[in-house]
């Protein structure tokens, strides 16, 4: 990978396979008993669009984008984020990012990136900042 530069757009990462089965599998893996993920009555009472995809899964889509862009040697120094909207089964979301700044030395580039997870309509589900280190190859 060439070294990143400020203003560079990170190639988007599309996740279109958000399913109820995946939400349930992650519930089991995480031992997550929050009923917003699988209780239809509670989901309806709260006026939610459907079972809520777990926050860590949504963050993982943004991390997948960064690793697809920079490669497996990428190191995450800091990852700050804010949840704005829920993601539910059937949604297609796209992780997007822009390099805000980049500084290099002989053996790595340190880049600060603005990242976000967007719904198909462009609304933001998650936004944040990632500071990453990319070793020179």
CATH number for the domain spanning 115: value is 3.10.129.10
Domain span including residue 119: 9-18+54-135
Strand extents, DSSP E, 21-92: 75-83
| Residue 122 falls inside a structural domain | yes
Residue 132: pLDDT band (50, 70, 90) is very high
Residue 93: pLDDT band (50, 70, 90) is very high
- Per-residue pLDDT tens over the stretch 69-84: 999 999 999 999 999 9
Round to whole Å and give the CA distance between 84 and 66: 20
| Residue 69 falls inside a structural domain | yes
Query: Residue 19 in contact with residue 92, Cβ under 8 Å?
Result: no
pLDDT at 2 over 80: no
| Residue 49 falls inside a structural domain | no
- Per-residue pLDDT tens over the stretch 26-44: 999 999 999 999 999 999 9
Number of structural domains in the chain? 1
pLDDT (0 to 100) of residue 131: 98
pLDDT at 1 over 70: no
pLDDT at 19 over 90: yes
| Residue 92 falls inside a structural domain | yes
pLDDT at 48 over 90: yes
pLDDT (0 to 100) of residue 3: 83
pLDDT (0 to 100) of residue 45: 97
* Residue whose entry in the numeric block shows the structure tokens 């822009």: 98
pLDDT (0 to 100) of residue 136: 83
**Vertex 6 angle, CA 2 and 8, to 5°:** 65
């Amino acid at each position: 990978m060439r070294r990143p530069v400020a203003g560079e757009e990170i190639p988007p990462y599309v996740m279109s396979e958000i399913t109820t089965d995946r939400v349930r599998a992650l519930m089991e893996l995480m031992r997550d008993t929050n009923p917003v993920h699988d209780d239809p009555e509670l989901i309806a009472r709260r006026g939610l669009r459907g079972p809520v995809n777990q926050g860590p899964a949504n963050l993982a889509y943004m991390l997948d984008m960064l690793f697809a862009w920079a490669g497996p040697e990428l190191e995450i120094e800091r990852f700050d984020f804010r949840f704005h909207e829920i993601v539910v089964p059937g949604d297609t979301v796209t992780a997007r990012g822009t390099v805000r700044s980049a500084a290099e030395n002989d053996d790595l580039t340190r880049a600060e990136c603005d990242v976000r997870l967007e719904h198909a309509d462009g609304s933001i589900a998650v936004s944040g900042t990632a500071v990453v280190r990319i070793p020179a190859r």
